[in-house]
Structure formats: C-alpha cells, structure tokens
Structure 1
C-alpha cells in the first residue's frame, strides 16, 4: 500500500515476547475448540449444574502500534459446562467487523486505542475507514434470555447462547445508542439490569435500566453535576441507589492527538461519589481524597438509616495510567457513605496484598453479604496474584488457598444442595490451565475437583456463572 499524506504509515508490530500482557499466562489463544469429557481430578459435585463463561482481551493477530491492557485486545469467550458428572469446553472469538476484516487480510489492521491510528478506505473499505477497533472483551452478561459480550463504554455484542456465535451489536432497539460500560449490575429482587455509561462529551455520564424482559425501562439519563469525561470501570448497586465513584482519571482526547496519553491522572481533583437515586430524584454527592477503584464487591442500604455500605478494592492510583514515585497498592475496603452528612467512613477489611477481583454470591447483590472472595498474593509471596482469599465479613476471619499457579477471578457457583467457588488458573511453568471447584464452606481445604482445560485459557478478565435453566 502506498503511503500518502492521507494514509499514515502502519504502526510497527508490538514486541509480544517482552510484553507482560502478551506473553506467558497472558499470551493470546488463537485456537477455537469444542471438547467434551474433560479430564477431572477429584469429583465434580453432583448438584452443580451450569456454565461458567469468561470473557477477556485476546488479540486475533499479533497487535501493531501499542497494546494497553485491558483496554486493547479482541474478545474471546470461554464456556465451561458442568452437569454434575462431566465437563465440556468451548471457546470462540467475538467476531466484530474488525476481526472479520483482519481474518480476511491475515494480519492486524487496527492499532491500539492509544495510538490514534485508523486504517484507510483503500485498506478496509469506506464503511470501516477511520473507525477504531470495537472491543467487547471485558465481561459477559446474560439478561432477558440474551447473552452479551460487554465492552468498555460501547455497545455490547450479542452472542448465540448455544454455540457462542457472534450475532451482532446490541442497541436494545435503539434505546442505547452509545452502549454501556462492562460492569452493569442485575438486581436479584427486581430482575432489572442497571447500566451506566461514560462518553467524551457532555453530559459525560448516564445511567439506564433494562427490565427483566430485556426492554429498556429507563433510557440513558444524565448524572447531573459531572464536568469532565472520566473513566469509571465498575459500579455498585443498592435497592435505593446507583453508586458511582468518580475517581480523577480523565480522558484527554486533545492530548492524545498531540502525542500525549489518552488517560491522565489528576489527583488534585479528588474523588467524587455519586449516589444516584433509582427513583429518579436528585443525585447525592460525597467528596473525598483521590483514589482509584477498578472493582466493587457489593453495596447495600443500611436498615432504618440513610447510610450506604460499599465493599470495594481501593487503589492509591491506577497503576499503568499514572507516573507516580511509589508503586500503586491496593486493599479491600468497607466504606459507609452518609449522603445526609456528605461523609465517607472507610475501614480496611482483609489482609491480602495486591488484591483485586472481589466477588460475592451474585444472588446477594444490593443486600448484606457475609463472604467476599478476592485474588491476591500469598503470605510473604511477592510473585504476583497466586492465591484466592476468602473473607468472612462478620467475624473478620480470612483464609486463603494457594494453588501455586496464576489464579483468575473467583466466581460463586450455587448448587442445589451446597455452594461452591470456582476459578481458572494457569501454571506459568508449562502453561497448562485448570478450573478449580472449591467448597464455599471450606475453600481453603483445596479443590473438590480440578478440571484440566484442553487448551490454555489466557489470564483475565471477567466471568459469570449461569445456572442451568
């Protein structure tokens, strides 16, 4: 292809061998398989029936330009089906128009999001020229009988529930023209899917509701009082409120176009917490010192009180998106928010180091919970997140299980008789992946069953347990 003023040069390939999130346990998986009768060590619980689906960044071809994890990377969805006696596995790429065009070309065409490079019409045709890569690669959600691969502030992609084939982008009959972020929440009491989304222009932040039937019951509604485009990865939900932490990580489009970074850490702004009443009344605001939050465990309203309790992982700053003298550190925090007084009262709960991916039993979202599982480093281990930590919030007791491999986000799996925790892990020595099934009553005792995966499942990101219907 001839390079002209209108056709900037194609960015150089990324050095995958020396990129943390493109090598080792994070290396992309290019193989798609369907395998039955997976090898199991131990015994799968007879009362556990359903599917664990996990989505994550997985570039279809070796990327060009740059690769910023977890913003970049095509989506691959993994499904592990458990029927109480056997396990089956299937994985598929989410085939966006960009993936299809690159499969036709046999190589990467679009660069990383932070490069600002887009292909020309001569290379991809007029419909795709000037577009950025669509990235439904963060999370997976089932709602209203449909299965969605969730993007970071974009429309999700609908997948076929049976074979994971890509159906297409989902706009909810046009009611969601700009989409949603990757972490909506389903209220177990009402069956509603509550969504938030950020965009680069005013009003910058909106929230929406999709009813149990899949129809939009509240269209995108601005969150009044937001004055800049902020990255907000996750939310919390109570019976009364949509809880949004507006940490000072700002999108700087002008800066990116002139050679700067897309995201800028502005700690002088502090953090603002929005308590958005689900009844549509005025937003309640609480201001506090700068911090960063990737993920929430849960939140709930305090009975006979106006306060809200929120459990989440609090970071000193977003590592990788800010140039700070000290490494970013994290801790599991319980915050009590008082909208009447405008205050936040925080307490560290749990002792895990480098903690992330907090999960609870999803049936308890919006209500008080007793157990939180996270991923963190083992005691005295500085080698990364190799342990699952289990906190009893009531007693404050905490246990851990360390399988000696790189472990992924835990998932709570209710059975008909007992409940379980599950997680993917990959051995960094031989890159073999496993799925572990642990008793929810005594997870530190180790797995009841270990399922050997037929191919390596790349590390990260988010998943959902879907009970058999």
Structure 2
C-alpha cells in the first residue's frame, strides 16, 4: 500500500457527488476497475506451463463496483474482488468474483454507490439501507486472501474477514464463533511449524491494539489480548512472526477522529515521535519495546530468531520509507532493510540490503518465522513513467550475499510475486514466482510464471487472460495437496 493521498480536501459535504474518473489516476489504466465477473477455461499458454503446478493462485484487490462518491483513495477504498488462476496438468482456467458484503449488495440493489470514499465521510442512514447497515462504515475486504483450517478468507485493512467458497462465492462474515468480533488486519501470519495463525487488530478506541491466535483446527486459542504501551490509535498494516515473538512496527501515523470530524485529515503523521518496534512474546510475557528514529513501513518480508537463548536477537527484513508516500507532502525514499533487535535492551541495528522504489516483499511461505534467503518484490526501473502503486519490474534479493537481480517487465504493470514451490522439494530455488500483469498500452492481462532459479530471465510461461485484471494487492498460492 505504498502510495495514497489522504490530504484533506476540506470539510465533508452532506451530499457527495460521483468522482470525475478522468482526474483520478488510480481509476484509470491498469488500475481501472472491472465490473464483469468472468469464468474461462483452457486458457492459451505461451511457453511451457510446469505440470507440477497443481493448485490455485488467488489475489485480492480494491475494485469499485460503482463510481465512488466524493473521493477515492487507493488502495484503502474500493470493493474487494478476488481473481483466481487454477492450474492443473499443464492447463489453466480463470475466474474473478466480487466479495459480496452486505453493503455491496445494498449498493447493487440501488444501482449506485451509497457510501462515500474514505475522505468523504458519507455514511447512509437506516432510511436508505436499513437498520443493520445504517450509520455503519462500509466493510472493505479488499486487501488480502488467505486459507487457514479449511477457511478461505478475504481480508480487510482492519475488520472481520469474509469467508469464501472454493469457487469464490461469498459465504458471509467470519467472526470465529464470535471470538474475534472486531476482526483482524489484512496480514495474519501462519506458523508453518504448528499451523497456528497469529493475527492482530488495531482499533480507534482503547485498547487500540490487540493480538490473538487461531489453532490449526480454526478454533481461537488466544482471545484478543491488549498490547500494553499505547495511548492513542495508530495504523499498523503488517506484522512478522518468529518462534518466540510477534513483531510489529509502529510508525507515528495516528488516527485523528476529531480532526476528521471537523474537515481535517483522518490520519496524522507525527515524525517527532519516532518509530517503535514491539516484540510481543508468544508465550504471553511482557511486551519488549524499541524506540528508534522515524521511518515508515507498509510491509515486512519476514523475521526470525538469530539463536536459541532468551537474549538471542530478532532479525526483521522489511521495506522502509522515510515517510508514508502520498499521505504527507514531500519526496519518498525507499529501501529494503534488515533490522537486528536486542530483546533485552531494545537496541536496534539497521543495515540496508537494497535501495530504490520497491514494495510487496514476499518469501517462500514455508519458512515464515525461520531463516530465509530469498526475497521477491515489485520494483520501479526508472525507465518509464509510472504512477504510485504501479511497478514495471520484479526484484529478487539474496539476503546472504546481498545480490539483487531484476526482471524488467517493460509495458507490463506487475503485481505482487508469490512463491509456488516444486512439490517434494524444500529449496527456495526449486519452484516458481507467479503473478498477474497487465499491459499499460493495450490492457491485455497475463498470468506469469518465472523460474525461481534465474528469475531475471523472465517467464517460462505466460497465460493470456480473456479479461483485464486490474492492479491489486496481496494473494496466496494454494496447492491442491499440502
């Protein structure tokens, strides 16, 4: 979620008009939403699709069903749309579906948008949408899609997820038998050793931040537990996990409800406060806090314990920015950084792995919480003009050597790369990086398969999709046999 403009545009109006799509870059070109739900089989393939790939790749992203009212903030606004690519026996089929929230169904019945954008503050009352939805903000499960304990979950920034069927039909809100009534953020982490899913959720009111755990059977094993040490609401998009700790990076980006109600910005950047890192012991011990110079991070790649003793450092790889790009004026500078955190003293050392405009770091999910050696990211080459959130390259970084190789995607706007391992192997070089991509010039969309060994050589297979796939956010490779 690297580039969003949340500058206040003045007080919210009681009546919001549809935005002028021609003036909003994130409603045009490779970002332009699609309203059709498509299903197509036996898609044309260029190159050779590895027959070992057997499963489905799912990716979520914001896709407004109707022209937004008042404002549109990418990627925090927009209805969720999940795109799926099923692969088996060298063949491919595709489908996309809206996440059918109650609010989206009300808008479809009305034939237009009823809720305003994030900056607009327009929320319909009961006379327009009924008592259950009236006066309530719109649910936007448009950020991520994961599978855990047999549940397929479309995830919002901070809200209850929506459960989907294997064919991407919406089954309804998921509260885990009422144990997680406030939901979770869009980046839970599943421990590959235990199958436990760890989640967190930030809140506008005290306690402001909680964390919880869900067992491999889908039952909540730790209810929402407040994180001590916060006195105001703060936005935190991602988390990392080690065998000992939940790792959260808290940049000084606060929710300011009073300012929003008086026509100001909902989010306030306060760089004078510095950035904090929380190490939350998974066994329930006291939180270990580190306080360091100000930076912002949307996404982490992974974290791990560098040793086995109680004072063993925690290593965290993440994408760092000098400020949240687009949220505040001024230039942004990005880097892939490794932080080494002393859990006893709170001291933090930071080393730059790579510099430049890059985002959405991913690793081989089988080593989440353990040592990783490969990170893949979307990147910008600087060879062609792209707007924020559009990327024209994929970077692949070896964290042991610091070597970085790049595949230049040219006219293709590429989405987050996800690792699909070769079945029966455990090496991160044995498998493929997969992603969607859309041509900025003609709107053609493709599913790309790049070899994990030598990804800079480009795709070994390109699957033509019969409809345009807008740029989106996060997804998962779900093999048929796990």
TM-score, normalising length: structure 2: 0.93
Q: Which aligned pairs between 1:119-158 and structure 2 lie closer than 5 A?
A: 119-158=124-163
Aligned to 2:23: 18
Measured in 1, the distance between the counterparts of 2:102 and 2:400 equals 49
Aligned to 1:5: none
Q: Over residues 399-454 of structure 1, what are the superposed CA-to-partner deviations in whole Å (9 max), with x where a residue is unaligned?
A: 11112111110000012264110111111000111111011011111111001111
Aligned to 2:4: none
SS of aligned partner of 2:122? coil
Q: Which of 393, 418, 422 is matched with 1:415 structurally?
A: 422
Aligned to 1:452: 464
Measured in 2, the distance between the counterparts of 1:376 and 1:436 equals 16
SS of aligned partner of 1:72? coil
Q: Which of 80, 83, 86 is matched with 1:78 structurally?
A: 83
- Contact 1:44-1:448 within 8 A present in 2 as well: yes
Q: Which of 291, 306, 319 is matched with 2:325 structurally?
A: 319
Measured in 2, the distance between the counterparts of 1:200 and 1:250 equals 10
Q: Which of 269, 275, 290 is matched with 2:294 structurally?
A: 290
Aligned to 1:241: 245
Q: Which of 313, 316, 327 is matched with 1:310 structurally?
A: 316
SS of aligned partner of 1:142? strand
Measured in 2, the distance between the counterparts of 1:135 and 1:41 equals 35
Q: Which of 451, 472, 476 is matched with 1:464 structurally?
A: 476
RCO higher in structure (CA 8 A, sep ≥6)? 2
Measured in 2, the distance between the counterparts of 1:386 and 1:68 equals 22
Between 116-125 and 21-30, report the one with greater CA deviation.
116-125
Q: Which of 108, 123, 126 is matched with 1:118 structurally?
A: 123
- Contact 1:49-1:415 within 8 A present in 2 as well: no
Q: Over residues 182-226 of structure 1, what are the superposed CA-to-partner deviations in whole Å (9 max), with x where a residue is unaligned?
A: 000000001000000000111100000000000000000011111
Instruction: Report whether the alignment pairs 1:372 with 2:375.
Output: yes
Q: Over residues 120-179 of structure 1, what are the superposed CA-to-partner deviations in whole Å (9 max), with x where a residue is unaligned?
A: 222212222111111000000100101000011100000112x11111101000100100
1:74: how far off?
0.4
1:382: how far off?
5.4
Between 185-194 and 378-387, report the one with greater CA deviation.
378-387
Q: Which aligned pairs between 1:82-231 and structure 2 lie closer than 5 A?
A: 82-161=87-166, 163-231=167-235
Gaps of 5+ in 2: 1-12, 425-429
Aligned to 1:29: 34
Q: Over residues 207-259 of structure 1, what are the superposed CA-to-partner deviations in whole Å (9 max), with x where a residue is unaligned?
A: 00000000000000011111110000000000000000111000011110000
Q: Over residues 317-363 of structure 1, what are the superposed CA-to-partner deviations in whole Å (9 max), with x where a residue is unaligned?
A: 1112123xx31121100110112221111111124x21101000000
Measured in 2, the distance between the counterparts of 1:298 and 1:270 equals 22
Aligned to 2:45: 40
Measured in 2, the distance between the counterparts of 1:313 and 1:409 equals 14
1:381: how far off?
5.1
Aligned to 2:9: none
Q: Which aligned pairs between 1:293-442 and structure 2 lie closer than 5 A?
A: 293-304=297-308, 305-323=311-329, 326-351=330-355, 353-378=356-381, 383=386, 385-404=391-410, 405-416=412-423, 418-442=430-454
Gaps of 5+ in 1: 1-7
- Contact 1:113-1:132 within 8 A present in 2 as well: no
- The RMSD of aligned alpha carbons is 1.4
Measured in 2, the distance between the counterparts of 1:335 and 1:21 equals 33
Aligned to 2:5: none
Q: Over residues 64-95 of structure 1, what are the superposed CA-to-partner deviations in whole Å (9 max), with x where a residue is unaligned?
A: 11111111100000110011310010110011
SS of aligned partner of 1:102? helix
Measured in 1, the distance between the counterparts of 2:478 and 2:409 equals 25
Measured in 1, the distance between the counterparts of 2:51 and 2:165 equals 27
Q: Over residues 34-91 of structure 1, what are the superposed CA-to-partner deviations in whole Å (9 max), with x where a residue is unaligned?
A: 1000111001001111110000000111111111111110000011001131001011
Instruction: Report whether the alignment pairs 1:49 with 2:54.
Output: yes
Measured in 2, the distance between the counterparts of 1:58 and 1:234 equals 21
SS of aligned partner of 2:115? coil
Measured in 1, the distance between the counterparts of 2:225 and 2:218 equals 18
Runs of 4+ residues deviating >3 angstroms: 379-384
Between Structure 1 and Structure 2, how many residues are aligned? 459
- Contact 1:113-1:133 within 8 A present in 2 as well: no
- Contact 1:387-1:407 within 8 A present in 2 as well: yes
